[in-house]
Chains A and B, each alone.
Chain A
Amino acid sequence: MEFVLLIFLPIVAALFIPLLFKRMKRIHTGWFVLAVPLILFLYYATYISSTMEGGHAVSELRWIPSMGISFVSYIDGLSLLFSLLITGIGSLVVLYSIFYLDKNKEKLGNFYVYLLLFMSAMLGVVQSDNVISLYLFWELTSISSFLLIGYWYTRDRSRFGALKSMMITVFGGLMMLGGFVLLGIMGDTYSIRELIAAAPNFVGHDYFTLALVLLLLGAFTKSAQFPFYIWLPDAMEAPTPVSAYLHSATMVKAGLYLVARFTPIFAFSEVWVWLVTGIGLLTLFWGSFFAVKQTDLKAILAFSTVSQLGLIMSLLGAGAITFHSDDAVFKFAMFAAIFHLINHATFKGSLFMIAGIVDHETGTRDIRKLGGLMSIMPVSFTVAFIGSMSMAGLPPFNGFLSKEMFLQSMLAIRQFELFQFDTWSILFPVIAWIASVFTFVYSFYFVFRTFAGKRKEGQLPQEPHEAPAGMLISPVILGILVVGIFFIPNLVAKWLIKPAVAAIQPNLYQQPADVDIHVAAWHGFDSVELWLTVGVILIGALLYASLTKWQKFYGLQPANFSLNALYDGMMNFSEKGMNRISRFYMTGLIRTYMIYIFSFISVAVLVILFVQDAFVVDMDSFAHIGVYSIINAVVLILAVCFVLLSKTRLAAIISLGAVGYSVALFFVIFKAPDLALTQLVIETVSVALFLLAFKYLPALKDHGESVKTKMTNGIVALGVGITVTLVALSAHSQKLIPSIAQFYKDTVKTEAGGGNIVNVILVDYRGFDTLFEIAVLSIAGIGVLGMIKLRLARKENSDENK
C-alpha cells in the first residue's frame, strides 16, 4: 500500500467536516473527526515491530519529477516516533475538545477543518524525505497554526497572536527554504537520505555554514527558541485543545525534529554544536526564569514549554558531540533528548488540558484568583500534581528519569575538549542546574497556587465543580502514561527511543539494538546527578516558600525593554516605513507613472544595447533616398511641430491629420498601397471624430506647467526618441534570421489562391488574428456607445427617484 497517501487522509477527511457539521447538528462533529487520528495511530503502530529492528519503509508519490520534487514518506525510528505522537496526542486532544467546545455555540466546522489540515501538514513534515515538500508542509503547519490561534477571531488578542506567530514562523520557514536550496546545490539532490549519504563532502563547502545557520533559523523560530520564543505566549489565545496539541506536543517540536533529522549532515560543524547547545540552554534558563513571573495558567505553561523545548534542543546539540568524540559519556545526550521529548508530550499535554479544565469550570485562568480547588476537583488535582511533579523532575514520574539523564549529559560536556569547549564547559551544568531550580519553582507554583491553599471566595466568575468525566479521560490517560513510563522506561526505549536514536546517529549505531543505554532510576549514592537533584529540591523548595517575597522583583523590568516591545516596534516601523515609501513614489499622478515607464524603457534598452554591443549600423543595406521622401519628411516634421506648438485645438487636430496623411504618403513611397488606402480612410474618419469631440472639450491649456516640468518631460521624451531611433537602425542592420516573406511569395498562389499577398495574409494565413481584431473593434465600439449612453440612463434613474 502506498502509505504516503495516508498523509493526506486528514485533509481529505476535512473536506467532509463542514457537511457533517451542517447536517448532523445533534452529534458533536468531534466524534467523526476522532476516527481519523485513531485509525492513523493504529496503522502507524504496526510499524513499530519493523523499526525496532532498524528497518524503514519508503513510499513515493511523484509531484514534479523534472525538478526532483516529490512527496516521499520515509518511515524510520525518528519519523515513526513523531507520527505516533501526532496521531496519539491528536486522538486524545480531539476527544478532549469534544467536551471542551460546545457544539451549539462554537464554529466546530472551522475548528476541525483547521485541526485536520494541521494533522496532515505535521505528518508531512516528519515523514517527508524530500526537502521541498518538507518545506511545503512546514509552512502549512504555520498557516494552520495561524488559523487555529485566530479561531476566536473577534478577539483582538487572538488576531494579534495569530499574526505574530505567523510572521515569526513564516520568516523562519523562508530562511529554512534558503538552507534547503543551498543543501540542494551542494548535494545535487533534494532527498534527505541522499544528502546524509553525501554529507562528509559538504564540510568546508562555501555554503555549508550559511545553510546550517539558515536551517537553524527555521528550527529555532518554530521551536520557540530564544529570541524567537515571543510568539508562543501570545499563541495561548488559541482554544486550549489547540495549545495542548500544537503549542506543546507537536508543532513546536517540528524544530526539534528538523535539528534531529539534519544532525548527521551538520553535526560535523562546531558552529552547529555551539549554536544548538548554547541557544537551547539559554532558552531553557530564560523560559524557566520568566515562567515564575506569569500569572495566567496558560502563560506559565507557555513559558515552561519554551524552557523545556530549550532543554531538548540543548540535548540535541550535546548529542552532536558524538560526531567528534567516541567517548561513551556523550552517548546519553541524544537518548535523553528523545526520551524527554516523549515525556514532555505526556506531562505537558495533561497539564494544558487541566489548565483548560480549570478555565472551563471556574471561568478564569488568573492564578491570583485561584486556590483551594483540591477538594472540589480531586481528579484534576491528581493529574495536575502528577504532571507538575514530573515537570519538576521528581520520582516516581517519567520526568525524573529524563531530567537525570539531562544533568548527566550536561556534566559530560565538561570532558569535551574541542572547539574551546574546555574553557566554557563548566557553564553548561551550572546553567542547567539553575534552570532546573526555576523549573521546580514554577511547577510547584502552577499546581499548588491553583489547587492548594485557601479558596478565594467571590473572586471566581462561576461556582467551580469537577469537570465532566469525558473531559477528564484524556488528561487521565496522559497522567497514567507519566507514571507508567517511570516504571517501564526500558520497554519504551526499546520500542520507540532506540530506533529514533539510531536514526539520528547512524555514525554510532548500525541498528537500534546497538544503543547500549539502560535507563535506571537509581545510580547509587555516589552519582553526581542524584546530589544535583537533591540540591534542586532543597533550593527550589526554599525559593518556592519565599516566592511572594521575591516575585515582585520581576516588576523591575521596564515594559518597553523587552523582546515583545522590539517585535512591536519592528512591526510598527515596517508598516509605517513601507507606507511612507509607497506614498513617496505612488503619487497618484499618471504623469509620474508614465515617467517611470518611459525612463525605464529608454535606460534599460540603451544600457543593454551598448553593454551587449548590439548597436550596429550597416550603411550598405540602406535604400537610396528619393526626392519625394525628403519633401514628405519635411512636411511630416513641420506637421509634428505644429501639433506640439499650436495654441488652439483646431490647429492641433488639423496638424495631427496632416501627420497622418504624410504617413500615408510614406506608405505609398514604400510600395504599400493597402496601407496607404487604409491610412487615408482611417485618418479622415479620425479627424472627423476629433472635430466632433472638439466641441465638447475645453480649450488647450498647459495648466500652469512650470519650465522645470516641461524640461523633465522634454528630457524623458528625447530619451525615448533616441532609444527608438537607435533600435530602429540596429534592428534593421542585423537580421538574426532571414525574413519569412519568401514563404508567402511562394505559397500565396498555390495555397491560398490569391495575388495580393498582404490581403491574403490578413484574411487567410492570419485569419483568426483579423477575426479577433474585429472583436476588439466591436468591444471598443460598445465601450464608446456605453460611455455615451450610461450617463443618460443614470439621469433617467435619478429622475425616477424624484
Chain B
Amino acid sequence: MELLMAILIGILFTAAVYLILSRSLLKVILGTGLLSHGAHLLILTMGGLGGSSPPVLDKGASNFADPLPQALILTAIVISFGVTAFMLVLAYRTYGEHKTDNMNLMRGNDEHD
C-alpha cells in the first residue's frame, strides 16, 4: 500500500512542479493546489498507513490509525485553502492591473534593480 501511495505522491509532486514552472498564472495556482494534496498524503504515508479503526476511543477498538499526522494534516488542509484563496485573488488583481497572465512578462522593472 505504502509503495503505491509513494508513487502516487511522486506523481502529484511531479505534476505540481511542472505546473508551477509554467508561464500561465492560472496553471501556477493549480500547481500549488496539487502540491498541497501531495504534501498531505506524504505526511500520512510517512506516519504509516496501518490501523484498522479511526483514532476515536471506542469499545473494542485497539488498533488505531496514528492520530498525530491526521491532526497535522487537518491544520494543513485549512491553511492551504487560505493560501489558494489568497493566490486566486492575487492572480485576479495581477491580471486586472497588468492585463496579462504571462509570468515571463512579470519580471519587475528598473526601479527594483
Contact = CB atoms under 8 A, between A and B. Distances in A.
A606 B27 CA distance: 27
A762 B73 CA distance: 11
Nearest to B91: A697
Interface string A629-655: 110010011001001100001001100
B106 to A, nearest CB: 7
B45 A732 contact: yes
A109 B39 CA distance: 58
Range of interface residues on chain B?
35 or more
Contacts of B26: 649, 652, 697-698, 700
Nearest to B69: A672
Interface in B85-104: 85-86, 88-93, 95-96, 100-104
B20 to A, nearest CB: 6
A148 B50 CA distance: 71
Interface in B24-66: 24-27, 30, 33-34, 37-38, 40-42, 44-58, 64-66
Contacts of B9: 724-725, 728
Contact of B93 (A653, A690, A780, A787): A787
A136 interface: no
Interface in B59-85: 64-68, 70-71, 73-75, 77-79, 81-85
Contacts of A619: 3
Main secondary structure of the interface of A (DSSP, over half): helix
A269 to B, nearest CB: 49
B1 A629 contact: yes
A712 B78 CA distance: 33
Given A716-B21, A741-B68, A787-B89, A728 B42 contact: yes
A678 B78 contact: yes
Contact of A625 (B1, B70, B108): B1
Given A689-B84, A724-B38, A729-B6, A761 B77 contact: no
Contact of B73 (A675, A689, A701): A675
Interface residues of A, number: 96
Given A731-B46, A762-B75, A716 B17 contact: yes
Nearest to B97: A791
A674 B69 CA distance: 12
A798 to B, nearest CB: 14
A64 interface: no
A324 interface: no
Contacts of B66: 739, 741
A357 interface: no
Given A740-B68, A755-B58, A777-B78, A670 B49 contact: yes
Interface stretch (A100-108, A439-447, A590-598): A590-598
B84 A758 contact: no
Interface string A763-799: 0001001100100110011011001100100000000
B19 A701 contact: no
Given A588-B108, A671-B51, A698-B101, A791 B93 contact: yes
A787 B90 contact: yes
Contacts of B23: 591, 702-703, 705
